[in-house]
Amino acid sequence: MPDRIALVIWVLGITADVCLIATSLIRGSFLKYFFLNLYVILAMSADLSRQFVLRTWGLNSVEYHYVYYYTDCLLTIALFVAVISLASRVFAELKLDKFVRITAVLLLLGTAGFSYGVVAQSTQRLSTSFTNELSQNLYFVGLVLTYLLWGAVLKLHETRTRLVQMVLALGLYFSAYAGSYALVNLASKYEAVLYLGPLLGCFLPISWSLTMLRHSEDSRLTPARLVAVQR
Amino acid sequence: MMAAFILAFSLLTLLMFFVSYCRSLTAASMHKALTEEVLDVTGIQAKASGRDFVRVMQLLQLCPDRHEDRSGLQIVGTYYSFLNLLDQSLAKLSPAVHTWAEEERAGCAHFAAVALGRRIALNREMLAQQVEL
């Protein structure tokens, strides 16, 4: 990736992260959406540490590869936890939040075990392969979970505007990210495809910040309007 | 093969989440009634229709900008263009798609009209402040 474009995207990402944290602090929602904010803080720390390692050891160094894959794996797990925190809020009224958390932990361990199993079958047991495999699988599980969560939001006639829009933003992000992973595999020769991932990384904090700015915690919407085709 | 499947699946979910996200934006303004002023200025007859959207957007450009509305209007504008595209392509095959797209465009027009109401109110406030000075 040319240095200048990558740097512009990096600065945009950091700015978007800072914007979200500042917005949630100003709006008094930092603790209310703690896991979402935690994900953004971790994303910012990962961006900074990757940049430091990149400048010190270079793009093709072993150090950069390790830092990149391990932070990516950590971020995917943090995002997974953020999805679960939103799911707990949606299911809280049904008193199913504890069940959701236990299921999520089992799913996380299951995905980690599956990914390890896939990597362990290869002759070279590289830990970076394991983290890469785990990240990809968790993104896919995250997409499916968000899809199910959206189904629950519709079924339970959720009216909280912030919650609905945060789940939808997450769904858009996971779909776009999973698509970009696939596109990189299919058409990696096109350089533009390589910018997709870092660019999409900026979308989530921006959309969450806009949601927090536009709507208060009490803001409600008409649930019937959310169903694409009225019955 | 697997990558192609994931790409197709994620494009479908992307489209679904995009439509739902835009609907959640317009849904937030659906319970807000249009003021008499907005109805007068835009010529909307009680309920906004899809055709009103372009006119309301033109009127919005004449009012002082409110940065809180800007991103929402851009997203809804993109959604309106997408609905137009859908209406010109798929709707020719199915009349139900045309009816659905028209309802959605009306929602977009209502969203823009509510934003126009807010901008008119802001305009009045600014004018009142200038008179006081």
What ipTM, to 2 d.p.?
Answer: 0.78
Contact status, residue B1 vs residue B8, Cβ threshold 8 Å: no
**What are the start-end ranges of the H helices in B31-94?**
36-42, 52-62, 67-88
Specify the CATH number for the domain of residue A217. 1.20.1070
In terms of Cβ atoms closer than 10 Å to its own Cβ (0-12, 13-18, 19+), residue B24 is buried
CA geometry: angle at B51 spanning B45 and B53, to 5°? 90
In a domain, A231, yes or no: no
pLDDT digits (tens, 9 = 90+) for A199-221: 888 888 998 998 898 888 888 87
DSSP state of A31: T
Q: Per-residue pLDDT tens for A68-117?
A: 888 887 888 888 888 888 888 888 777 777 777 788 778 777 777 776 66
- Those residues whose C-beta lies under 8 Å from the C-beta of residue B116, and which sit 6 or more positions away, are B38, B41, B42, B56, B59, B60, B63
Contact between chains at A221 and B13 (C-beta distance less than 8 A): no
pLDDT at A231: 45
Partner residue opposite A176 with nearest CB, options B14, B16, B26: B14
Q: Which residues of chain B are modeled with pLDDT < 50?
A: none
Q: What residues in A contact B17, CB-CB < 8 Å?
A: 150, 168, 171-172, 175
Residue A44 lies in a domain: yes
Tally of structural domains, chain B: 1
**Is a pLDDT exceeding 70 seen at residue A124?**
no
Residue A67 lies in a domain: yes
Burial class of A222 by CB neighbour count within 10 A (0 to 12, 13 to 18, 19+): middle
- Supply the pLDDT for residue A17: 92
Please count the structural domains in chain A.
1
Residues B52, A182 contacting (CB under 8 angstroms): no
Residue ranges of chain A whose CB lies within 8 Å of a chain B CB:
140, 143, 147, 150, 161, 164-165, 168-169, 171-172, 174-176, 178-179, 181-183, 185-186, 210, 213-215, 219, 221-222, 225-226, 228-229
Question: How many Å lie between the alpha carbon of B133 and the closest alpha carbon of chain A?
Answer: 31
- A76 lies in some domain: yes
pTM: 0.81
Closest CA to A165 of A86, A76, A91, A108: A86
Range of the domain at A90: 3-226
What is the DSSP secondary structure assignment for residue B133, as one 8-state letter? -
Alpha helix segments (H runs only) across A156-223: 161-186, 191-214
Domain containing B10 equals: 2-132
